[in-house]
Structure 1
Amino acid sequence: MKHSLSVTIAMSIVLLFCSCKTAQTPYKISDGSTFETKPFYPKFNWKTTPMYYMFGDPKRVLHPEEVEFIAERTDFICIEKSHGHGDLGAAELGAKHEVAAFKKLKPDMKVLFYFNSAYAWPFTSYNKNFTHENINNHPELKAFLIENPETKELEQRKNVFYFDVLNPDFQEWWVNTVAEGVAFSGADGAFIDQMHGFSWLRQDKVQEVQKAMGAMMKALKEKLGSDKILLGNNANAKLAQHVFPSIDANMFEHYGNNLLSKEKLLNDWEDMLRISKAGKISIFRIGVEYDSVAVSDPSFYKGKFRNKRFAKLSKEKLEFYHACYLIGAQPYSYFQYGWGWQLAHGSLMDYPELQNPLGAPKGAYQRTSSTGWEFTREFEHASVWVDTETRQSKITWH
């Protein structure tokens, strides 16, 4: 009896050890260290290119077949700022609808709620009064906005007002509002856009603005709780230096062709390593609307065939941008691809190459010479070569 009990206990310990060991796969960073994942992160693997999707349709919610299409390709998405506004009347309702739709199909899916920390987009019910028609009737909200110091008019871009991160009352309202949106929608966290706080409008207070933004993001992370994902857009940038400690994930948005230079891509790869070593997630987002081909031809952006032109361009440019991602990819680095933020801007495009078997990287990337711009990297099922100076590339699948 005593011997049998000892054997049972020993077997239980072994089984417990094995289950703990297999419950969470350890992933190696390119420098040989181990990525320290967190239980609330999305599922990650190297079977195919790890993808992140972010989209919105201001007119409607997704059709069931669209939910299925996206869910087949990723475990990690964000519902963009105006989604479902036309159908449901408020963006948080659109987010709630899609959170339920995706989780019904894929319970472990991680879905983020969008909110902006700089622009007062009026698409949620929380923000609906930040408009020219309504703002003067809400002085408590108007106090949250930046005024031009000379004209005393509200600062704006295309009729969208600017939040004043230096206002403590705004900070409190903003943190509570984002947390409410996440809770209401049932989301797994928040994507926060614009980390700059319009510091360039207040050159004498740049450091103050940056510290205020950092404090606000720290307060948001605490309010959301330790089991929610906080993703900051370009939170790796110098302007967001005080934000970085509080985020769980960073997006490299590449919102201009200058951000895709050979020097900048090399910096991105170094940052992807730094972010991974900090146990944080990376999103390597490419929008071909900023590709030099499109930028040099204004007709790309005009007319009813705009999306067809960009769809064609995205197919032509995929290998190069995909290679740029793969050279720097680390555990919990995700690729996002398209030509904008709306649903019609690539989220429903089929890119078969992104479904090819990939496998884990065999090591860090190699630079063919200390002064050259050719890079290579080996994966289990792919050999990657890219020249970021000539913008040529080759991915050999095997």
Structure 2
Amino acid sequence: MKRTLPLFSAVLVFVFAAAARAHEGYPDFDWDRVPLYAHLSIGNGLTAEQYAFLADHYDLIAFQAGGRIDGPIEPKIAAGARAIKKRNPRAKVLFYWSCDLMKRPWRLSNAAFPSDGRLTVAETRSDGVYFDVSRTDVRTWWSDVAARAVHEYGCDGIFVDGAGTATIKWRRVTDADKVAALQEGLSAMLIEARKKMGPQAIIIFNPLHGDDGKHGPLGEQLLSITDGAMMDDFDRAPEVRDPGKEYLAAEIEEMRKAANMGKIVVFKGWPGFTWWSDPELLKKPHDELHRIAAERISFPLACYLVGAGRYSYFCYTWGWLGEHGTFDRYPEFEKPLGPPKGEATRDGWTYRREFEHASVFVDLEHKTARIEWR
């Protein structure tokens, strides 16, 4: 208990401070058109044309690793942040930073990982290195990298992957007492990162999930000490794993709650397939994949619009590489939207919501939607 009380007190102090600083450092936001977020691997760097596209179409962008990468990823993300901000100084660029598992491309960061900071696990489904975030030295190392992301690499904050589901992973590999210590450590680590990054730095975690009937809402407890979250699992690969109308409704409700707290919410929409769920489809030409995604955009986009609030963003791709849709455009993104005229109304499994220039209808039971633009 000597460890628990100071950590708990620190969290309470931080929560009140976070409420006072809400929206400082947030990206520009308006309802003129669908607010968009980009999340993609920077690989070995993008082309000048690709950086220009991102800067022109997105005000919130996260860079991660993926595909072939030569050398450490950190300088590549720094170069990407500079390129984006040169063309669009208003844009906010986030540095992808896993909170639970070591990722190999982060070579500069991993080099300083404490030699005995690895979580000792009873069994695991992978050979990955779990961070023991109950340790002070691990939290210091992790938060130092977060600080470098802002002060050295020129990013505006961090995208903290794995935070919302970390507890589920920990429960698979260690005992209940250790899980409790890790949960406390994660909160303390995020607070420490904020202090080192500065009050205007952004912390977005992933994932935030609605109640799936098994685990309850995931990540909700982290909203009070972060700036928001990505919801990455909305109807992701229904042909492989149909989420059901109950879970989709829970996702929309979780999004609405977070948005009403003034949090940044990234709603990750999928076109009914991903890079892993349909490998045969992925062999088709990109233009064909884009055509299919265009045919299927109405349902995820309408669901986003039903739950969206100020600082809610839509992300629509079939994976995390640039070739998975980040550089594609859709007619819906060019249409005037305007602010919502109120909250959505619900009748059973259907929702309706009015915007200045659009009327939105969603039927979760039949997975149909209609957006009437005007």
Look up the match of 1:263: 246
Report the CA distance between 1:180 and its aligned residue: 1.5
Q: Does 1:78 align with 2:62?
A: yes
Dislocated runs of 4+, deviation >6 Å: none
Q: Does 1:192 align with 2:168?
A: no
Residue in structure 2 matching 1:376, options 345, 352, 370: 352
Q: Does 1:182 align with 2:150?
A: yes
Look up the match of 1:300: 281
Look up the match of 2:83: 101
Gaps in structure 2 of 5+ consecutive residues? 1-20, 211-216
Contact 1:191–1:232 (CA under 8 A) maintained in structure 2:
yes
Separation of aligned partners in 2, 1:251 and 1:269: 12
Look up the match of 2:11: none
Q: 1:69 to 1:249 in 2, by over 3 A?
A: same
Q: Does 1:63 align with 2:63?
A: no
Report the CA distance between 1:148 and its aligned residue: 3.4
Separation of aligned partners in 1, 2:243 and 2:340: 23
Give the letter for the 1:71 counterpart.
Answer: A
Look up the match of 2:325: 346
Q: Does 1:334 align with 2:313?
A: yes
Q: Secondary structure at the match of 2:108?
A: coil
Residue in structure 2 matching 1:47, options 32, 40, 55: 32
Give the letter for the 1:105 counterpart.
Answer: R
Aligned ranges 1:15-26 → 2 under 5 Å: none
Contact 1:300–1:306 (CA under 8 A) maintained in structure 2:
no
Report the CA distance between 1:128 and its aligned residue: 5.0
The C-alpha deviation readout for 1:129-173, integer Å capped at 9, x for no partner, is 5xxxxxxxx9x74422233337xxxx563x542222223221111
Aligned ranges 1:1-398 → 2 under 5 Å: 38-58=23-43, 60-82=44-66, 85-86=69-70, 89-128=71-110, 141-149=114-122, 155=124, 157=126, 159-195=127-163, 196=166, 198-200=169-171, 201-205=173-177, 206-235=179-208, 238-254=217-233, 257=238, 260-288=243-271, 290=273, 295=277, 299-300=280-281, 304-305=283-284, 310-367=289-346, 369=347, 372-398=348-374
Separation of aligned partners in 1, 2:28 and 2:354: 23
Separation of aligned partners in 1, 2:273 and 2:231: 14
The C-alpha deviation readout for 1:84-115, integer Å capped at 9, x for no partner, is 943xx221111111111111111111111111
Contact 1:37–1:279 (CA under 8 A) maintained in structure 2:
yes
Report the CA distance between 1:256 and its aligned residue: 5.7
Which stretch has the larger CA shift, 376-385 or 198-207? 198-207
Q: Secondary structure at the match of 1:116?
A: coil
The C-alpha deviation readout for 1:31-84, integer Å capped at 9, x for no partner, is xxxxx96231100000000001111142x2121211222222221111113589
The C-alpha deviation readout for 1:228-250, integer Å capped at 9, x for no partner, is 11111125674535432210121
Separation of aligned partners in 1, 2:89 and 2:81: 10
Q: 1:220 to 1:290 in 2, by over 3 A?
A: farther
Contact 1:165–1:209 (CA under 8 A) maintained in structure 2:
yes
Separation of aligned partners in 1, 2:196 and 2:68: 26
Contact 2:55–2:84 (CA under 8 A) maintained in structure 1:
yes
Separation of aligned partners in 2, 1:83 and 1:43: 31
Gaps in structure 1 of 5+ consecutive residues? 1-35, 130-137
Contact 1:82–1:124 (CA under 8 A) maintained in structure 2:
no
Q: Secondary structure at the match of 1:335?
A: strand
Report the CA distance between 1:224 and its aligned residue: 1.2
* Aligned residues between the structures: 339
Report the CA distance between 1:362 and its aligned residue: 1.0
Separation of aligned partners in 1, 2:207 and 2:354: 28
- What TM-score, normalized by structure 2, do the two folds share? 0.82
Report the CA distance between 1:285 and its aligned residue: 0.9
Q: Give aligned-pair identity as a percent.
A: 31
Contact 1:84–1:90 (CA under 8 A) maintained in structure 2:
no
- What TM-score, normalized by structure 1, do the two folds share? 0.77
Contact 1:210–1:241 (CA under 8 A) maintained in structure 2:
no
Separation of aligned partners in 1, 2:297 and 2:341: 23
Give the letter for the 1:300 counterpart.
Answer: L
Q: 1:280 to 1:376 in 2, by over 3 A?
A: same
Give the letter for the 1:220 counterpart.
Answer: A
Q: Secondary structure at the match of 2:74?
A: helix
Report the CA distance between 1:299 and its aligned residue: 2.8
Report the CA distance between 1:284 and its aligned residue: 0.5
Contact 2:38–2:61 (CA under 8 A) maintained in structure 1:
yes
Report the CA distance between 1:392 and its aligned residue: 0.9
Q: 1:119 to 1:156 in 2, by over 3 A?
A: farther
Separation of aligned partners in 2, 1:128 and 1:250: 25
Separation of aligned partners in 1, 2:59 and 2:77: 16
